[in-house]
Amino acid sequence: MKFYMTPGSCSTGIHILLEEVGAVFEVYIVNLPAGGHLEPDYVAINPKSTIPTLVRKDGSPVTEFQAIAWWLARQYPKHRLLPEGADGEVKVLEAMDYVVGTIHGQGFTRIFTTPNFTPNPADHDVVRARGREIVERGFAVMDAQLAGREFVAGSFSIADAALFYTEFWADKLKMNLPPNCREHYLRMLERPSVRQVLREEGYRV
């Protein structure tokens, strides 16, 4: 398989899942800040110009964090990245979608790509502040869900990989994580797959 990713981005979460299941894959770095996602060769693989992209053995690409994570969980069932039963699976998908769609998609996106939300530089501080509000509220929601649990669904799942990459961003921005999220983040940092991925992506662990 071929894995198209940008170090330190949301693709870090998928990178972790690939290592968790012991998948054999080649890494292709997409230089997102330099516009690598807009290069014709990459657009031919993923017309949405987003990361990550996982090209499977048959040559077909899968895009979007949630879709790739779910496919990996289904493709490697012995690693139990999803709970058994529809109710448990729905809870994981619900949490993962909230993290990726809201904490990342509505919150951190306003912080990292502020000009996309307003052409007026005078409004940038307001946009970033709104992003932080969304992120903080999102972590408060996840903090409540983590109460009394080590992981989002009790045991490690694809939702934890999603939550981790947003916690990682918060840590790098020196944002305060609520207690349960902080414990989850520290717990994730001790996982061998996480430590390996962070080293490979150029971070000290």
- Using one digit for the tens of pLDDT, what is the confidence trace for 50-61? 999 999 999 999
Peptide bond preceding 179: is omega within 30 degrees of 0, i.e. cis? Answer: no
Task: State residue 204's pLDDT score.
Answer: 83
Q: Which residues contact 158 (CB under 8 A, 6 or more apart)?
A: 17, 69, 70, 72, 73, 81, 82, 92, 96
Model pTM?
0.95
State yes or no: pLDDT of 205 exceeds 80: no
Terminus-to-terminus CA distance in the chain, angstroms? Answer: 27
- Give the integer Cα–Cα distance in Å for 101 and 165: 13
DSSP code at position 175? P
Q: How confident is the model at residue 123 (pLDDT cuts 50, 70, 90)?
A: very high
Q: Are 82 and 89 in contact (CB under 8 A)?
A: yes
- Neighbouring CB atoms inside 10 A of 102's CB total 18
Burial group, residue 3, by CB count within 10 angstroms (0-12, 13-18, 19+): buried
State yes or no: pLDDT of 106 exceeds 90: yes
Q: How confident is the model at residue 148 (pLDDT cuts 50, 70, 90)?
A: very high
